[in-house]
A and B are shown apart, each in its own frame.
Chain A
Amino acid sequence: MRNLTIKSQEGRPRLSEAAVRVLGENGERRFQEFAEYETGWNMGQGKALSIRSVALLERFLHEVPELADCSPSLFLSSEGNLELGWEDDRGNVIEIEFGPDHISYYIESLSEDRSVPLEVLPHFIERIKLLIANASPTVSN
């Protein structure tokens, strides 16, 4: 996987301009906070931000710039993975977690709640692009 992660002078990861265009100032601020969390955040249960998760999020956002129209929120899972969440035009939730070797997602409108390996990322990206375009993608991996 191409590594798109950018590091600041302090060695902490930071987002590319393309990613910030999708996530906005709020998302960028949240990312900077997450990058400072130490192992044990969230009352001892949180792992530090995964650099592989950052790289995966960057790749996703580079390929799905139209997600900016959905104003997605950025979260950090207790496993140290970045997560995106937004709603479609009917208010149904879409949530994607970028793990180091998998993607976990929930698409409420399709009742899909699963994890898939990174090998299917290109196909997954196409499905999300279709969802954003308000099309009806086929339910398959």
Chain B
Amino acid sequence: MPHPQCPTDENIVRAIHSAHWDTSANRKSSAIFRGRDVSVSRLAILGLGELFRIFHATLDESPNGAIVAVGEINVGNLQQIALDYHHPTVLTVEPDPQEDNPAHAVIPQHITRGLAKVIIEQLKIHEDP
């Protein structure tokens, strides 16, 4: 049975860790969006403020860096970017609610470094308020 998918008019966000964004050089790693089962959160379920609180809950008062921002993108735009890439890729965003984050979803397909870089360029960045 196919997995349910988030509709194309929804917007999602990806948490950006300080290890993946060199803010001094304003340079981002493809690690923000590459690989398989990329975790994202649905803005249709929780707002940015609630999501930042969830992201901080696991990191504050630890030596493990920080979530410095989130990157927002529309699901339909994300899918079109992947289809337009020189190695066309079908991406889906599948709801995967968790106890600590009911807005959690995953992108199950493998995202290459090159495609991740193109996606990252299209993210609307929200820094921690």
Contact = CB atoms under 8 A, between A and B. Distances in A.
A137 B117 CA distance: 23
B86 A73 contact: no
Interface centre among A42, A71, A74, A106 (most CB of B within 10 A): A42
Contact of A37 (B20, B58, B65): B65
Contact of A108 (B15, B17, B31, B114): B114
Interface in B74-129: 86, 112-114, 117
Contacts, number: 83
Which range holds the interface residue count of chain B?
20 to 34
A101 to B, nearest CB: 18
A93 B117 CA distance: 9
Interface residues of A, number: 32
Contacts of A75: 19-20, 22, 29, 31
Nearest to B20: A75
Nearest to B113: A106
Interface of B: 15, 17-20, 22, 24-25, 27, 29-31, 35, 39, 55, 58-59, 62-65, 67, 86, 112-114, 117
Interface of A: 26, 30, 33-34, 36-38, 40-46, 71, 73-78, 83, 85-86, 93, 95, 104-106, 108, 111, 113
Given A26-B22, A34-B19, A77-B29, 11 more contacts: A30-B22, A33-B18, A41-B19, A45-B39, A46-B17, A73-B22, A73-B27, A75-B19, A75-B22, A78-B31, A113-B112
